Chains A and B, each alone.
Chain A
Amino acid sequence: MGKVRPKKHAPHTDMTAMTDVAFLLLTFFIMTATFKSNDAEITTPTSISQIKVPDDKIMIISIDREGKVFFGVDAQPVRAAMLENIGQAKGVTFTDTEKAKFAIQSSFGFPLNQLKAWLNMPKDQMSQVKQPGIPVDSTGASELADWVYAARKADSGLRIALKGDNVAKFPAFKDVLANLQSQNINKFNLITGSEQAPAGYSNN
């Protein structure tokens, strides 16, 4: 008589529960995802402020480490309308393809006279180009002011946020400030990272 051997089974784990967890997490991350924008690397300073940056209806003026200024508006239709507005004001006409291409750029930093050339580049080249930044000067009447005006004309409810790099020099900020103040914009947000308030600090 042969021995009765227990049937050999490959060890089999039930992965169903693990799949459940994995996909639950996945769903969560997909829903909360706001993608890192790959334009202009900016490391913001931190502050103890706890006001969140609004999600929509916002225009962001960024100052990078060299003091170059970039401009971005969150909503695509507003971007297109903004381009049209500035085109009208400055006597430049943009084709529909240029408008469409512009509408998908989250932010840009080109003087108006170079913008057309940039928009006509192939897609992969567009991201490679080193952007020179929007001309800003201390008189308060430079292209940045025009863009802010055009954006506000496109959507009057836009809030303004300023995002500066840690090492950007103060004069760059001062020039941006002059541009905003020339349009009577005296209140805006500075985007910062969050930081723990020192011990003993209370909010009231």
Chain B
Amino acid sequence: MAAIEESGGGHGKGDGKVRGKKMSTRVDMTPMVDLGFLLITFFMLATTMSKPTSMSLAVPDKTEEKEETEPLKASKVLTLFMGENDNVYYLDGVAADDDKAESSLKTTRYGYDLRNVIFSSQKRINAANPKDEKGNDAFVVVIKPTPVSTYKNMVDVLDEMAITKSKRYALVDNLTDSEKKILGDRIKPKN
């Protein structure tokens, strides 16, 4: 209701002149405020505030001629196998076809635990091995996703690489026979 205040219309002064009633120009803003907040609520709910971020991933070219490189020494490698239910199995400095591999396969979880595993392995390997001629650290992480792992697992691991500043890592999606043997049933999809 727009309040119309009747104030001093100049009546009854007796001077005979008929003056126009002075209307106050005050308008009730309440409905407008209501509408304003209604729209605000709508836009707040319909908007995604936190813009998604992105991480860039570069994968090696498949078509290009592969130049011969020295095979990685197992002692410099931390191999992570992404298993089911957010489990990570890892081999730290041991090749999968090694006799000791079976016993040294350990399990960890994503997040803090995995980070500690990477950090300690990184520290140990970098201390034991000198930097190569290009000044890179010796530490290499080989990430092996398995058919039972999820997309989230992969992003988590890549994220750990960023957090632990492991510059040299490789995403390898095929398992060797000896790796398959060690992991056994742990990576079999259950249908």
Question: In the assembled complex, how far is the CB of residue B23 from the closest CB belonging to chain A, in whole angstroms?
Answer: 16
A174 touches B57 (CB 8 A): no
A33 touches B47 (CB 8 A): yes
Nearest B residue to A15 by beta-carbon distance?
A: B29
Chain-A contact segment, one of B48-56, B65-73, B124-132, B178-186: B48-56
A187 touches B56 (CB 8 A): yes
**Residues 132-158 of chain B, each 1 if its beta carbon lies under 8 Å from chain A, else 0:** 000000000000011111111111101
- Which residues between 10 and 50 of chain B lie within 8 Å of chain A, taking CB atoms? 26, 28-30, 32-33, 36-37, 39-40, 43-44, 46-48, 50
Complexed CA–CA distance, A204 and B59 (Å): 23
A48 touches B163 (CB 8 A): yes
Nearest A residue to B153 by beta-carbon distance?
A: A170
B113 within 8 A of A: no
Question: In the assembled complex, how far is the CB of residue B187 from the closest CB belonging to chain A, in whole angstroms?
Answer: 11
B55 touches A51 (CB 8 A): yes
Nearest B residue to A58 by beta-carbon distance?
A: B54
User: Which of A15, A168, A186 makes the CB contact (< 8 A) with B28?
Assistant: A15
Q: Which residues of B contact A48 (CB under 8 A)?
A: 159, 162-163
Number of A-B contacts (CB under 8 A): 167
B98 within 8 A of A: no
A49-B162, A184-B63 known; A15+B30 contact, CB < 8 A: yes
Complexed CA–CA distance, A12 and B32 (Å): 15
B60 within 8 A of A: yes
A33 touches B53 (CB 8 A): no
Complexed CA–CA distance, A193 and B39 (Å): 27
User: Which of A33, A36, A170, A186 makes the CB contact (< 8 A) with B151?
Assistant: A170
Instruction: Write the residues of chain A forming the contact surface with B, with a CB cutoff of 8 angstroms.
Output: 10, 12, 14-16, 18-19, 22-23, 25-26, 29-30, 32-36, 44-53, 63, 161-174, 177, 181-182, 184, 186-195, 197-198, 201
